Structure 1
Amino acid sequence: MGLQEAISRALAFYDEVLSLPHRAEIKRELRDEDDIFYLLCFSEMLGLPNPVSYYTLELYPEMIEQFHDWHLRMGMEKSPLDGIRCC
């Protein structure tokens, strides 16, 4: 094991030790960002005007797979959108 590899392993361990107590908080923040992003993307289907609908239209096929988890986290038992059947 070379010196450079030992230093990189020590830095990785140090980073892990520092981020461990904040892992749940970071995960929650990322989930909240995803929720806001989904709300923005699907807002037009929910009846809210979407100022960036042209830019978010091509993202729908990628987001359909995660839509089910999102609407369950938002407290909706069934999909609120007629065009998306996931339940």
Structure 2
Amino acid sequence: MTPRGRGDLRARVSRGFRDYYAGPYRRRLARSARDEQDLLMMVVLAEELGVPNPAAFYTLELLPAVYGEMHAWHRRAGLERSPFDTVACC
């Protein structure tokens, strides 16, 4: 077996072990990341939702960053259209 063949075999075995051990958790980690993103959207958009936001001073500068994610967020929340008058994404 050539040295290159061993490297390819080692890489394939490494990928196989990574998929075997990390595979079952991949979906849960993705869901956790999505839940954290949804929580951030709720905190940043709290004033628009009518919830008093004690951190409004800090979250105000995050508004431009979350406007791009607005469509995906309200679709995951089960809303056909954006619930906000100031943000029209659809």
Give TM class, smaller chain: 0.7 to 0.9
Per-residue CA deviations over 1:6-65 (Å, capped at 9, x if unaligned) read xxx69x644444211110011001111111110111011010111111111111111101
Q: Which residue of 1 aligns with 2:57?
A: 54
Q: Which residue of 2 aligns with 1:83?
A: 86
Instruction: Give the gaps of 5 or more residues in structure 1.
Output: none
Matched residue type, 1:79: S
Q: Is the aligned partner of 1:27 residue 2:35?
A: no
TM value normalised by structure 1: 0.80
C-alpha distance in structure 2 between counterparts of 1:37 and 1:17, whole Å = 32
**How many pairs are equivalent?**
84
TM value normalised by structure 2: 0.78
Instruction: Give runs of ≥4 in structure 1 deviating > 3 Å.
Output: 12-17
Instruction: Give the gaps of 5 or more residues in structure 2.
Output: none
Larger radius of gyration: 2
